[in-house]
């Protein structure tokens, strides 16, 4: 189980898609924790939007494709991974303010009947 004291390492790799990265998260002993797909959300330049358009923050979409994370360690996982991802991906004109995490649906949900109003 991940705790606040668990130290994680992040290995990043570029992909064949523009502005999309893969990440592998492991603990300090090298044990697998998660596989990530990282997508920097970069707002348009102010010159490309109407003058009254709201300001948009830079952030990183973190798709957790696979992992050995339990519900009790989820907050600590996201806190640790956010710190690692934002530190490693901050550069020049990209300074993300936060990470937005997304997880795949559990396999058991795929067998359930959809809940739709009749």
Output the pLDDT for position 27: 92
**Domain contains 113:** no
**Domain contains 23:** yes
pLDDT digit string, tens, across residues 44-92: 998 999 999 999 999 999 999 999 988 888 999 999 999 999 999 999 9
Partnered with residue 35 across adjacent β-strands are 24, 66
Give 105's Cβ-side CA count (13 Å radius): 6
Model's pTM, two decimal places? 0.81
The 10 Å Cβ neighbour count of residue 38 is 22
**Domain contains 73:** yes
Range of the domain at 56: 8-105
- The residues, any chain, with a CB within 8 Å of residue 37's CB and separated by 6 or more, are 15, 20, 21, 22, 23, 62, 63, 65
The domain total for the chain is: 1
């Amino acid at each position: 189980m991940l705790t606040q004291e668990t130290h994680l390492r992040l290995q990043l790799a570029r992909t064949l898609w523009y502005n999309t990265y893969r990440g592998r998260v492991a603990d300090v002993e090298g044990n697998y924790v998660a596989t990530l797909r990282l997508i920097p959300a970069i707002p348009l330049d102010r010159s490309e939007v109407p003058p009254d358009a709201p300001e948009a923050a830079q952030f990183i979409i973190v798709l957790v494709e696979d992992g050995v994370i339990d519900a009790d360690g989820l907050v600590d996982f996201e806190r640790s991974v956010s710190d690692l991802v934002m530190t490693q991906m901050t550069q020049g004109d990209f300074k993300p303010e936060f990470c937005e995490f997304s997880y795949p649906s559990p396999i058991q949900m795929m067998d359930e009947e959809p809940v739709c109003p009749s």
